[in-house]
Amino acid sequence: MDSPYDELKRRLCEIQDLEKAHELLYWDQVVMMPPSGAAVRGDVRATVARLAHEKSVDDEIGRLLEQIEPQAEAMPYDSDEASLVRVARRDWEKARKVPTELAAETAKVTADAEDAWAAARQASDFAAFKPWLDRVLELKRRYIECFAPYDDPYDPLLDDFEPGMKTAEVRVVFDRLKQELVPLIAHAANNEQDEFMRGPFAVERQHDLSLELIGRFGFEPVAYRLDTTVHPFCSSLSTQDIRLTTRYSEEELTSLFTAMHECGHGLYEHGISPALERTPLCDGASSALHESQSRLWENVVGRSRPFWRWFFPTVQRAFPDVLGDVEADAFYRAVNRVHPSFIRVDADEATYGLHIIMRFELEQELIAGTLSTADLPEAWNARVEEYLGLEVPDDGLGVLQDVHWSSGGFGYFPTYQLGNVISLQIWERAREALGDVDAQLERGEFGELHQWLRSNVYAHGRKYLPAELLERVVGGPLDPEPYLRYLKSKFGTAVAA
Ligand code: ZN
């Protein structure tokens, strides 16, 4: 007979298999499925998700955990076994705190709310979306109450994405960023546009360049695919089967950055220790840690001067008509313009943080009830004016631009900016460890950097809480200073000039 540990692991792997099947159904839906497949696909996904949920709240998991925990506590904290037991306990307790009816109602309402949001955004009509937002908020408040007592009502929402992190910690970091970012942007903003950035750039060549970058960064070709979709994402079906997605437009070269971003997510998943495969440890430590890796490859590496000294000649050869007479340095400046704009997903590296900070603030006020949904558009517009100096022309370019609130993703926004903050904390350590990284980037060599990240961050999967992993890698807690140093040295003078 199997030991209780083997039995627990078998059950956890089964749950994971169902979750991966669910993920594959989603990937297929947005990458491959013919449009008329949508009618049935929703039901198929719902069934698989329900089976996974039922198995994850099973009483038997609790009984097995009780049997195993005394031995697991005697094992080294970072052993795979002790980590699996610890994470399984946490997941099981969390899942059981939310009544099945509430989870089902939330799934149903948010699916409809997302449709309502898409139509409202199209028509730039906040009033049409408001009743849906009220319903989602009501469900979120009920969800929060499942986790009482808490220090801050936002804590349970944040914890879904950043296990163990507190809202108060994030507030301190974001307040510090805000203090520096607002004047930095006012100083560095540059609304000039470079004609050569408008293309045309043939899509097949963009695809080839994307593949070249992903290969250079160290992805094994047999372990990933790159396909096109409307909203790019990265999906991991196993450490050896990573689905990267991107999108192309002939009028811009943002696809190169999208490819590097999703590649960063993919390298994280691909680099998780094979011993953790199929277990709940086979995932990133948190959303912010994940985003730290997409941002590290996309921005810290992919928007750096040494990187473009290496890669620009290749891009130039791909588009000789458009870029033939352009200098590498002019191209570097063009992809680093600080240009305050309305839409978060189009924001540059310097202004991006303020888009997130204002959402984080508004979410807390909505949850606490100090801001009503009726006053939300006005509050949104006031903050865009205060932080970015822009007047929002309509709700489509304002409060209706993101899908997150309709889909119930309150608590997710801050992880994007925490990812930026963490990417620089990790980068400073990598530089210390690797010596002259700039020279390596300038030669198009990414192997040492990739290996360092793999053994220090990726391999551990979800064994540690985000704060524990950060402590191990950088020797301290969340710290906005490396990120601010980076932004100041990059945008303080050089790029604005
Ligand atoms: Zn990302």
Q: Which residue of the set 162, 262, 269, 298 is catalytic? A: 262
- Say how many Å lie between the CA of residue 65 and the centre of ligand 1: 34
195 part of the active site: no
So what's the pLDDT on residue 497? Answer: 39
Q: Please report the pLDDT score of residue 496 as a whole number.
A: 40
Which residue pairs from 459-462 have beta carbons closer than 8 angstroms and sit at least 24 positions apart in sequence?
459/271, 459/272, 459/273, 460/272, 460/273, 460/285, 461/272, 461/273, 461/276, 461/281, 461/282, 461/283, 461/284, 461/285, 462/87, 462/276, 462/280, 462/281, 462/282, 462/283, 462/284, 462/285
Tens digits of pLDDT across the chain (497 residues): 789 999 999 999 999 999 999 999 999 999 999 989 988 998 898 899 999 999 999 999 999 999 999 999 999 999 999 999 999 999 999 999 999 899 989 988 998 999 999 999 999 999 999 999 999 999 999 999 999 999 999 999 999 999 999 999 999 999 999 999 999 998 999 888 899 999 999 999 999 999 999 999 999 999 999 999 989 999 999 999 999 999 999 999 999 999 999 999 999 999 999 999 999 999 999 999 999 999 999 999 999 999 999 999 999 999 999 999 999 999 999 999 999 999 999 999 999 999 999 999 999 999 999 999 999 999 999 999 999 999 999 999 999 999 999 999 999 999 999 999 999 999 999 999 999 999 999 999 999 999 999 999 999 999 999 999 999 999 999 999 999 999 999 998 644 43
The CATH architecture to which 167-494 belongs is Orthogonal Bundle (1.10)
- Distance between CA atoms of 281 and 4, rounded to whole angstroms? 18
**Residues spanned by CATH 1.10.1370.30 within the chain?**
167-494
**How close is the Cα of 415 to the center of ligand 1, in Å?**
10
The CA 3 to ligand 1 mean position distance, Å, reads: 39
Q: Ligand 1 centre and the CA of 72: distance in Å? A: 34
